[in-house]
Structure 1
Amino acid sequence: MPRVPKWLGDAMESVLASKYLTVRVSSVTLLTDTLCQLNLSGDFQGLDFHPGYAIDFRVNDNDFRHYTPSAFDAQEGTCEILIHLHGNGPGSDFISRLKVGEVLKMVIPRGRKLYQPDHQFHFFFGDETALGLFKLLREEIHAADQHYTGVLELSEENLALPARLGMRLKTVTKNPDDPGRYAAASLHAMKTGYPHIFHQGIFYLIGNAASIQHVKRTLRHMGVAVKNIRTEAYWMKGKAGL
């Protein structure tokens, strides 16, 4: 969500009060120096939620930030979010100040339904910002007795994190000068090992817009149909508020 004047942020909270929920911080856990797990509790009864839906927080007077839950249980009233800490920005500052027991206003989940249950094979590509979504998709895929693989481009300190989270995914180091390059280069070898996924699977490309473009272009050259590629850009270098 773009930056808004304070008066507009205040008006949104008042006029759209029915779109906000009161939640409480259950725990804040730093998994690495740049990735945090936030657990929330609240009354989520009756909420519509699907993998890929996002929630929002007003992180200061002028800024809102989107986050995609990695787990959501309306019956139990719990929500888990894996958050990439980019550094000195409004979102990172907001997360760094959170305390257990703190009460927050959260915009109700909404967005696109990304999971494609009619496909037996699923392929993930993304970065740290996609880890939460992929963790949730993995649970859906396992519950449906389906299969997944994929490749993630991550910073050095996060390369081992997918395995810690129970995800069987290939990892490559980010190339800041050519986003998506190393991941795209690995696709040909992966096709040799998983030809059925490239012929019949659905591909989820999530995270950095530049990386998504690179990997999508490579997949198209490899013969993957456009209809089997789902994309969701969470961020773009030099642009806030995607």
Structure 2
Amino acid sequence: MPSLPKWIANGTEVLFSRMMHPVEVSQIDYLDDKLKRVRFFGDLRSASYIPGQVIEFRVNETEFRHYTPAHYDQEQGVCEVLFYLHDYGPGSQWAERLQVGDTTKLMGPGGKMQFQSEYQYHFIFGDESSLGLCRILKSAADAQHQEYLCLLELAQAHCHWPSLVDLQADIVTNTNQNPAQEAVRVLRDMQGKLWNTWQRATFYLTGRAKSIQAVRQALIKRGVGAKQIITFPYWADGKTGL
């Protein structure tokens, strides 16, 4: 959501009051210097959730930010978010300041990024900002006895992050000048039975907008149907957040 004048942001909370759920920070864990896991607790009984959907928080007087929970339990009133503290924008700065006992409002859930249970295979592409999505889609796939594959474009210093959240992933190096170059190479190298299996997957593409575009184009060229591909950019070059 773009930056809004304060009075419009206030009006948004009133207009969507039925989707606003008061929550409290009940637990915080720093899994690494820049990876913060925050557990929110509140009454979420009216906030049904499909794995993959996003939630929103108002991070300052004029801006809202989307996040994908890593864990969501509607009945227990628990929502966990993995925050990548990159310090590039108001969302990261807000997440850095969160402390146990803080209160805020969780907006949603919603969005087109949703687990497609009718598919046996689930291919997830993203970066540091996509760890929450990977975790919750993994849980959904495991519950359905289905298969998942995560391909993550990470900075070298963050290549161990998937293991910190009990996640298996194929990792490629983040290249700022050539978004998803290594990820596209991995897709091109998938041949034979391996590709025959995974081309029937649902493809969930998140993270950097330019990387998503490159991976999507590579999939289409390899014959993957457009309806199999779901995209949700979490950030874009030159923007402070989405």
Q: TM-score, normalised by structure 2?
A: 0.93
Deviation string, structure 1 residues 22-52 (Cα, Å, up to 9, x no partner): 1010122222232211111001113221122
- TM-aligned CA distance change 1:206 to 1:193, over 3 Å: farther
Residues 1:182 and 2:179 are matched in the alignment: no
Residues 1:199 and 2:199 are matched in the alignment: yes
Task: State the 1:240 CA deviation.
Answer: 3.7
Give the match for residue 145 of structure 1: 145
Rounded to whole Å, the distance in 1 between the matches of 2:113 and 2:25 is 26
Rounded to whole Å, the distance in 2 between the matches of 1:17 and 1:204 is 30
Q: Which moved more, 1:52-61 or 1:186-195?
A: 186-195
- TM-aligned CA distance change 1:227 to 1:105, over 3 Å: closer
Deviation string, structure 1 residues 199-237 (Cα, Å, up to 9, x no partner): 322211111110011111112222222222221112111
Rounded to whole Å, the distance in 2 between the matches of 1:13 and 1:238 is 27
5+ residue gaps, structure 1: none
Q: Secondary structure at the match of 1:217?
A: helix
- TM-aligned CA distance change 1:9 to 1:227, over 3 Å: closer
Q: TM-score, normalised by structure 1?
A: 0.93
Rounded to whole Å, the distance in 2 between the matches of 1:173 and 1:222 is 22
The 5-angstrom pairing of residues 115-154 of structure 1 reads 115-154=115-154
Residues 1:239 and 2:239 are matched in the alignment: yes
Rounded to whole Å, the distance in 2 between the matches of 1:16 and 1:115 is 25
Deviation string, structure 1 residues 70-107 (Cα, Å, up to 9, x no partner): 11101111000111222142112211211101111221
Rounded to whole Å, the distance in 2 between the matches of 1:15 and 1:195 is 47
Rounded to whole Å, the distance in 2 between the matches of 1:221 and 1:11 is 45
Q: Contact 2:28–2:37 (CA<8 Å) still a contact in 1?
A: yes
Rounded to whole Å, the distance in 1 between the matches of 2:25 and 2:107 is 15
Task: State the 1:144 CA deviation.
Answer: 0.7
Query: Cα RMSD between the aligned structures?
Result: 1.7
Q: Secondary structure at the match of 2:52?
A: coil
Q: Contact 2:31–2:164 (CA<8 Å) still a contact in 1?
A: no
Task: State the 1:15 CA deviation.
Answer: 4.1
Q: Contact 1:3–1:241 (CA<8 Å) still a contact in 2?
A: no
Q: Contact 1:191–1:198 (CA<8 Å) still a contact in 2?
A: no
Rounded to whole Å, the distance in 2 between the matches of 1:210 and 1:111 is 20
Dislocated runs of 4+, deviation >6 Å: none
Report how many residues are paired: 242
Q: Contact 1:28–1:39 (CA<8 Å) still a contact in 2?
A: yes
Q: Secondary structure at the match of 1:194?
A: helix
- TM-aligned CA distance change 1:233 to 1:113, over 3 Å: closer
Q: Which moved more, 1:63-72 or 1:181-190?
A: 181-190
Give the match for residue 49 of structure 1: 49
Q: Contact 2:113–2:231 (CA<8 Å) still a contact in 1?
A: no
Q: Contact 2:91–2:241 (CA<8 Å) still a contact in 1?
A: no
Q: Contact 2:26–2:41 (CA<8 Å) still a contact in 1?
A: yes
Rounded to whole Å, the distance in 2 between the matches of 1:171 and 1:131 is 12
Rounded to whole Å, the distance in 1 between the matches of 2:122 and 2:73 is 23
